[in-house]
Amino acid sequence: MANTKLKVELREEGKNPRQLRSAGILPASLYGKGFDAKNIQINTHEFEMAYRQNKDNVWELNLNKEKFTAKIQELQVNYATNEYLNVEFMAV
């Protein structure tokens, strides 16, 4: 099982998820034991390409200078349009 590296950023305050998705950004959250949950955002295209290659990846999320190893807990998809709506990562 390979680690897939992905650059993430803290989610912009004041924008709702629809605005982010229309700008090509996928809203996400990261949670785990020992730290507070973080609302993050990912480039949608980069996530789609990495996710299609291997759906069971362990993800290495680079948030500023912090690195988190995580697995996808839940991926919300609009099945009518095949658009990714939200991703929940759980730190391992």
pLDDT of residue 13: 83
Q: What is the CATH number of the domain that holds 14?
A: 2.40.240.10
Q: Which two tokens stand for residue 31?
A: 């949670």
Domain count, the chain: 1
pLDDT digits (tens, 9 = 90+) for 24-66: 999 999 999 998 999 999 999 999 999 998 888 899 999 999 9
Domain that holds residue 13: 3-91
Q: Which residues pair with 71 in a beta bridge?
A: 90
How far, rounded to the nearest angstrom, does the alpha carbon of residue 55 sit from its chain's CA centroid? 13
Distance from C-alpha of 1 to C-alpha of 25, rounded to nearest angstrom: 26
Distance from C-alpha of 15 to C-alpha of 20, rounded to nearest angstrom: 7
What pTM does this model have? 0.90
